[in-house]
Amino acid sequence: MKTQIYTLIHGNPSTPGTNSHDRAAIAAKVIEENPKEMTIEMYGHTMTLTANWSTSGKSVTYSGTVTHEDIIGEVAHNNNWQYGQQTIEAMRQGLADITLQIHGDMTADIQIYHRRNERCQWKHSKTLRVEERTILIR
């Protein structure tokens, strides 16, 4: 069975947080179980995130493109971000690119990039935090 980030970090309901030493041990176990890619389930949708290792091989970030509109809607709602629906519409038109990233310390976020039209360059517009409890590692 895969190590679940949320269960390990928040295993004790009376503990409000996890110290950095414990978080590093949890991250090491998750990375050991998923050296090349991580398949996750988030808001009922399955996604595969690719491991992107640093040149030294000491740090990793898992990333993948988000294509499900309800994922963006939920994350925008949880972060009180009022432009979620506009981003979904831009995504439908091919003018927004959304990437889910799980970093080496097992924090997760969504990176949103926009462009005015198909000839413009992508520009980073927002980073939204993703709660660990919404991610289930498969």
Number of structural domains in the chain: 1
C-alpha span between 128 and 138 (Å, rounded): 23
> What pLDDT, on the 0 to 100 scale, is given for residue 5?
73
> What pLDDT, on the 0 to 100 scale, is given for residue 14?
45
H-type alpha helices, the chain = 5-9, 20-33, 69-78, 84-92
pLDDT in tens, 49-103: 999 999 999 999 999 999 999 999 999 999 999 999 999 999 999 999 999 999 9
> What pLDDT, on the 0 to 100 scale, is given for residue 54?
96
> What pLDDT, on the 0 to 100 scale, is given for residue 22?
77
Q: What domain range includes position 40? A: 5-137
> What pLDDT, on the 0 to 100 scale, is given for residue 16?
54
Whole-structure pTM value:
0.86
The alpha carbon torsion through 21, 23, 28, 30 (nearest 10 deg) reads 160
> What pLDDT, on the 0 to 100 scale, is given for residue 74?
95
* Lowest pLDDT segment from 3-7, 19-23, 99-103, 125-129: 3-7
